[in-house]
Amino acid sequence: MKKGLLSLIVIAIVCLSMQLNNREREIDTAVNRIAELQQKDIHSLDSFLKEYPRYFYDSSYKTRSEKYYQLTYYFKRASGAMIYAEPDKYYRDLVGPFQFERQKRAGFFSFIPDNWLFVGPIGNERDSTLMKFSKDDSLSQISFIKEASAEFHKAILDINQTIQSARKSPAETFHALRTEIFRISALDVANSDFILDDLLLHSIRGSTDSWIAYAGVFFETAIPRSSLLFQRWKQVTGDTKSYLAETTTFEQFNQMYFIRSSLIPLSTLLTDLQKELKIPFAKKWAAVSPAATHIYDRNIFNADYFAPDSIGYYSEAKARLGELLFFDPILSDNNQRACASCHKPELAFTDGLVKATAIEMKNVHARNSPTVINSGFQKKTFWDQRAGSLEDQLDSVVNNPDELHSSFDQVADRIQSSPEYVALFNKAFPSTKKNGIGRQEIKSAIGVYERTVTGLNSRFDQYMQGDVSKLNSEEVNGFNIYMGKAHCGTCHFAPLFNGALPPFFDLTDHHSIGVPLKDSMETYSIDPDTGFSKLTGDPFVHFSFKTPTIRNIALTAPYMHNGVYRSLEQVVDFYNHAGGNKFFDDFKPGMKGLPFVTLIPIELKLTDKEKKDLIAFLKALTDTTFSRTPKHLPQLKGKYAGINKRKIGGDY
């Protein structure tokens, strides 16, 4: 009896082991097959690029358009593999941001970056337009197409060498698929890589087709076809392909429907499959949390990724201490000003002013105070991006004679006089028991706190997470306008709706849009603040500023870096007229080297209803759940006891 039972146990163990080994082989087979498909897509793109220039010597507009649409499709099919393998090279050499270095070419196209071969497009103008080109401009255009194609060929070969030299594990393959569908959900639905609306469907078909093909290998290979998971996969992918096939124009594409009916379910299915196969989530140090199922998940971000060093990693003790310091005017020389003076919780952590008031109220700053909410989820701060973290930003704020006009030595001396503060620092940073409290600990505590000041639970977020009662039809239509006709999502990237570029969020975009000095739409003078170029000296980034978040925008007026617009209606009107492009003839003489305004010089032509719906959507991004203020501040002792009646949040 015992021998028989033992034999059954041994047989069961052997069968289970064989089953596990079979599954491992199936998963390895799937990983290899996906790698083969990626190589095929990259080869197709590269082969097409070699032939692409010859279509622009003697061909019709129809032929050029067809080839351009094919290029778009091939490029997006290969993008997912390339961006995961070499994100820096992908952005620098293939889809670089609008701000660029001058190209060494002659003629009309001398200042155009290579990636305009894709986004422009260069060479796909109508025949009637090309006939008006001078001979030199025609030669310049042909030269651009040939040189840009050759440069892309080199970049693709370099990226592909990285892909071929590093075989991905199953966990890394799933992570790459997850990263790509997050990118599609944030960028491709907004047509972010291209200027022409007509390219949206070619782009999203390319990226979605390749993603379904890659992920489908796992579903087809590693789980039973009779399983509910497989059946659900077939249903969603079938519906997705049908929708993309039936949608034939930019105007027909419904971004909200596609995200909620296809991209979120596909992303969720991928997570479910990974759990089913017991493949670990890659412990890759990244902005996106492994716990996030889709791009609009409540737990999408890993705040510690954005900390400059390990001392800035989250702990409850650090966040609690940082909150007190944020609201404590002892950071200022006159003990009357705190971080919260310009970043008030009741105003979504802004101040409601056109430009921030200087200390002692003697002057005003050059720029508008941005919100702190979600500011921790980006790698650059200040309008001109001069600081690389919230902690680095504090160096400027504390020491600036127009802001807090203080020093960390002075602040630390005051803190050391408070037994309560000392105890809080000792708990948050144990090394201070031996080494004392200094600049690093003060900055880190405030930085940790600011990274907890989040606003990702608006009605919009709740809608995207499944509660369809949270948005009405006008707000849903407003989202589609935002991502579609109004082109807002091409610069204010979802889900943060700022310039932090998904899916890695380690690049923060900036743009020159021709913000005026005054709010009149009849007469124009550009704001003289040259922004980003003050740091770089590069005239090609004159008047360029960081792309701010539009979350909580209903509470953060006035708008733009100089606070020039008082209402959302004015902002929408500015963009509806193509921003500063409306005044191109007027401002040309005074631009002093500005070669390019990074808005498409075409009016949006939004209807009154579309404007209204767009603003309704923007207001649905309001989330003030974090707007709280401490009840007390720690008492100081000795020579600083006289300032214990200081006001929480400062006097002004």
pLDDT classification of 585: cutoffs 50, 70, 90: low
Strand partners for 650: 337
Residue pair 204/184 in contact (Cβ under 8 Å)? The answer is yes
Q: Residue 514 has what pLDDT?
A: 86
- The domains located in the chain, with CATH, are 34-276 (1.20.1420.20), 303-454+634-643 (1.10.760.10), 464-619 (1.10.760.10)
Q: Residue 15 has what pLDDT?
A: 54
Helix, strand or coil, per DSSP, at residue 327: coil
Q: Residue 588 has what pLDDT?
A: 46
Q: Which segment of 13-17, 513-517, 535-539 scores lowest on mean pLDDT?
A: 13-17
pLDDT classification of 2: cutoffs 50, 70, 90: low
Contacts of 100 (CB under 8 A, 6+ apart): 113, 540
Q: Residue 148 has what pLDDT?
A: 86
- Average the pLDDT over 514-518 and give the result: 88
- What is the C-alpha separation between 242 and 253, in angstroms, rounded? 13
Q: Residue 14 has what pLDDT?
A: 53
**High-pLDDT (> 70) share of the chain, %:** 91
* For residue 595, pLDDT beyond 70: no
pLDDT classification of 8: cutoffs 50, 70, 90: low
Extract the tokens encoding 222: 């590693």
Q: Residue 11 has what pLDDT?
A: 57
**High-pLDDT (> 90) share of the chain, %:** 68
* For residue 127, pLDDT beyond 90: no
For 498, phi then psi, to 5°, come to -135, -160
- Average the pLDDT over 617-622 and give the result: 98
Amino acid at 169: S
Q: Residue 591 has what pLDDT?
A: 46
pLDDT classification of 563: cutoffs 50, 70, 90: very high
- What is the C-alpha separation between 300 and 323, in angstroms, rounded? 23
- Model confidence pLDDT, tens digit, residues 324-374: 999 999 999 999 999 999 999 999 999 999 998 888 787 888 899 999 999
Contacts of 26 (CB under 8 A, 6+ apart): 221, 222
- Model confidence pLDDT, tens digit, residues 460-473: 999 999 999 999 99
Cβ–Cβ contacts within 10 Å for residue 144, how many?
Answer: 25
- Average the pLDDT over 397-414 and give the result: 95
Residue pair 344/350 in contact (Cβ under 8 Å)? The answer is yes
* For residue 643, pLDDT beyond 60: yes
Q: Residue 95 has what pLDDT?
A: 81
Helix, strand or coil, per DSSP, at residue 505: coil
* For residue 605, pLDDT beyond 60: yes
Higher pLDDT: 74 or 602? It is 74
Tell me which H or E stretch contains 320. helix 316-326
Amino acid at 20: L
Strand partners for 508: 500
Higher pLDDT: 449 or 528? It is 449
pLDDT classification of 99: cutoffs 50, 70, 90: very low
- Average the pLDDT over 183-202 and give the result: 93
Residue 598's closest CA among 192, 71, 197? 192
Q: Residue 138 has what pLDDT?
A: 82
Q: Residue 125 has what pLDDT?
A: 80
pLDDT classification of 1: cutoffs 50, 70, 90: low
Extract the tokens encoding 143: 């030269």
